[in-house]
Amino acid sequence: MFRPRIIPVLLLKNQGLVKSIKFKDYRYIGDPINAVKIFNDLKADELVFLDILASKENRTISLEFIKNVGEEANMPFAVGGGIKTIEQIRKIIGTGAEKVIINSYAAQNPDFIRQASETYGSSCIVVCIDVKKSFFGKEKTYILNGSQSTKFSSLEFAQIMEEKGAGEIIIQSIERDGTMLGYDINLIRRISESVSIPIVALGGAGEIIHLKKAYQEGFASGLAAGSMFVYHGSRNAILINYPNKKDLNTIF
């Protein structure tokens, strides 16, 4: 039976892993390749790596890094950070990533998603939509690591991305990031119901019950989290962890 993927999201900053709270307050977590090794042993379904400052600093996630991850990772992984050209996608996929994740440039040039999906097939092209509510409660799409708002509402942007050929959409709630209080289920459900491509929920997961809710009530096909898989206990000690297959089978 099909079951949703549980996806650790690992943020890169200056070649180290970090974890944020609401896209701020970065805390150093450790070495990314070491994390991959642990997630191999824990048999994680899939991994996501985001170079969070790449777009802002006008560069692209390092190919050398992707190669190193690829040499270790025993599972599919997707990478994002500053991707703007077909050539970059070709190199990234060729280096060993399964999928590329596009955030800022998707909003700056939505047609790029069409071009990318026509060249590489929709399955490799993931769009990450960072969402924050405006003062009036409108869910807006943000880019450049949450620093700049766009004209698109998150729902409308998800539909545009589907139309352009994106294979999957990660919906990330900026306000829930690092809080571990649970996903924004309403947001995820509304977007999931209005597109027919897979939605990956991100932002806020802290415990297994949150994952279950996003799947059953939010119709998410993928359940992603950062803090939940790198922190342990009430004091947030750094400990890479992942639910075991038995636990997963009992909740899905």
Contact footprint for another protein (CB under 8 A): 1-5, 43, 45-46, 70-71, 74-76, 93-99, 118-124, 167-168, 192-193, 196-199, 219, 221-222
Nearer to another protein, 21 or 63 (CB): 63
**Catalytic position from the list 51, 130, 177, 184:** 130
Residue 133 CB, shortest distance to another protein, in Å, is: 24
Residue 43 vs 59, nearer CB to another protein: 43
Nearer to another protein, 87 or 137 (CB): 87
Evaluate whether 5 touches 221 at the Cβ level (below 8 Å): yes
Q: Could you tell me the smallest distance in angstroms from the CB atom of residue 190 to another protein?
A: 11
Min dist. Cβ of residue 74 to another protein (A): 6
Distance between CA atoms of 183 and 90, rounded to whole angstroms? 33
Q: Which whole-number Å values give the CA distances from 63 to 20, 59, 83, 84, in the listed order?
A: 24, 11, 12, 14
Please give the backbone phi and psi of residue 152, each rounded to the nearest 5 degrees, phi first. Answer: -90, 135
Active site (annotated) includes residue 130: yes
For another protein, give the closer residue by CB, 128 or 174. Answer: 128
Distance from C-alpha of 189 to C-alpha of 97, rounded to nearest angstrom: 28
Write the CB contacts of 205 (distance below 8 Å, at least 6 apart in sequence): 180, 182, 183, 211, 214, 223, 224, 225, 227, 228
In contact, 16 and 28? CB cutoff 8 Å: yes
Distances (CA, A) of 69 to 6, 43, 48, 172: 18, 15, 11, 23
* Nearest distance from C-beta of residue 65 to another protein, angstroms: 14
Active site residues: 130
